[in-house]
């Protein structure tokens, strides 16, 4: 018999697992959090080097956003209720929306600058760095002055809780922190999805702002003042209603205009996770479609 001279395949080498080492998506998440923390910390240190300027810009941010609530108070100088909601209940909706959006704007508000980076080609500098691009874009020019918006929303929310008549039960108490955290997550997902759209449109920051800044303005008013078609759109298409409308109507003991079951008031965390997953997929698709300017 002829002896085979075919080369033998080398045994496949399996990478040695180091105890305690994190791999896969968890490792990428840890790297992203670390990169975000380092970049944001750099901008915070830069901001605090000029503390007087920081104090003035933060106060300016606080005052500018407070004018929105002043406009609502002026409305109530002429009417007793807006869509069947008195001023304390409208302030409750306003405070929830402003606080949730303020936190999202603080954490990830710089995403609306992505279109400018795509247009002038500076996104390429982020692609060659050993850090996740999403974390770099989100932490870029981290603006601590946006705490003014968060503070203003929290103060209005606190004031409303002293005035609104709520039958506090265990589930209603539980919903309070859940609404704020889940609302922040939903708005963060909208920011990321809007940034992913800018990979295609490039100069679409105003379109993104229509769903972020415009969305929080919409949620500051009761759902009963809007047409049911719009309420359906922000419930089933772009689920901003889960930021405050749905859970807040349960806390206030009011029926939701679409007649949804009461258990939907407890679904904002699930909606936030689903929105985050979809926004992540959109971001990856947009990043893969990106083509450099070539300059």
* pLDDT score for 205: 73
The residue-averaged pLDDT of 227-252 equals 95
Nearest to 290 by CA among 122, 148, 71, 144: 122
Asked if residues 267 and 186 have their Cβ atoms less than 8 Å apart, the reply is: no
* pLDDT score for 264: 94
Residues 266, 79: Cα–Cα separation, whole Å = 32
The residue-averaged pLDDT of 134-160 equals 93
Asked whether residue 226 carries a pLDDT value surpassing 70, the answer given is: yes
* pLDDT score for 8: 47
Q: What integer best gives the mean pLDDT of the chain?
A: 87
Q: Return the residue matching tokens 């000029």.
A: 50
Give percent of the chain with pLDDT exceeding 70. 90
* pLDDT score for 271: 97
pLDDT band at 18 (very low <50, low <70, confident <90, very high): very low
* pLDDT score for 294: 57
Asked whether residue 192 carries a pLDDT value surpassing 70, the answer given is: yes
**Mind listing the pLDDT tens digit for each residue in 36-90?**
999 999 999 998 999 999 999 999 999 988 998 999 999 999 999 999 999 999 9
**Mind listing the pLDDT tens digit for each residue in 266-275?**
999 999 999 9
H-state helical runs in 109-233:
114-120, 123-127, 133-139, 147-163, 170-201, 205-219, 228-232
* pLDDT score for 200: 82
pLDDT band at 103 (very low <50, low <70, confident <90, very high): very high
* pLDDT score for 28: 81
CB under 8 Å, gap of 24 or more: what pairs does 250-253 form?
A: 250/171, 250/172, 250/175, 251/92, 251/166, 251/172, 251/175, 251/176, 252/89, 252/92, 252/164, 252/166, 253/166, 253/167
Give percent of the chain with pLDDT exceeding 90. 62
């Amino acid at each position: 018999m002829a002896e085979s001279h075919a080369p033998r395949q080398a045994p496949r080498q399996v990478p040695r697992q180091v105890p305690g080492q994190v791999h896969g998506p968890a490792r990428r998440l840890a790297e992203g959090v670390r990169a975000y923390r380092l970049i944001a910390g750099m901008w915070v240190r830069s901001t605090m080097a000029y503390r007087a300027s920081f104090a003035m810009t933060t106060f300016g941010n606080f005052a500018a956003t407070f004018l929105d609530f002043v406009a609502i108070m002026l409305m109530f100088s002429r009417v007793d209720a807006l869509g069947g909601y008195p001023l304390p209940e409208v302030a409750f909706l306003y405070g929830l929306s402003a606080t949730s959006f303020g936190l999202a704007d603080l954490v990830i508000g710089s995403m609306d600058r992505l279109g400018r980076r795509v247009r002038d080609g500076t996104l390429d500098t982020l692609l060659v760095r050993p850090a996740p691009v999403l974390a770099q874009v989100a932490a870029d020019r981290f603006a601590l002055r946006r705490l003014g918006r968060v503070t203003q929303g929290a103060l209005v929310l606190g004031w409303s809780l002293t005035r609104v008549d709520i039958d506090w039960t265990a589930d209603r108490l539980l919903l309070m922190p859940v609404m704020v955290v889940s609302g922040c997550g939903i708005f963060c997902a909208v920011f990321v999805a809007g940034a992913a759209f800018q990979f295609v449109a490039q100069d679409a920051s105003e379109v993104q702002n229509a769903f972020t800044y415009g969305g929080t303005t919409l949620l500051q008013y009761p759902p009963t003042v809007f047409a049911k078609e719009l309420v359906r759109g922000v419930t089933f298409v772009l689920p901003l209603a889960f930021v405050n409308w749905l859970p807040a109507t349960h806390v206030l003991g009011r029926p939701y205009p679409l007649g949804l079951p009461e258990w939907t008031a407890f679904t904002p965390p699930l909606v936030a996770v689903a929105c985050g997953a979809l926004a992540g997929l959109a971001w990856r698709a947009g990043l893969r479609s990106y083509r450099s300017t070539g300059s």
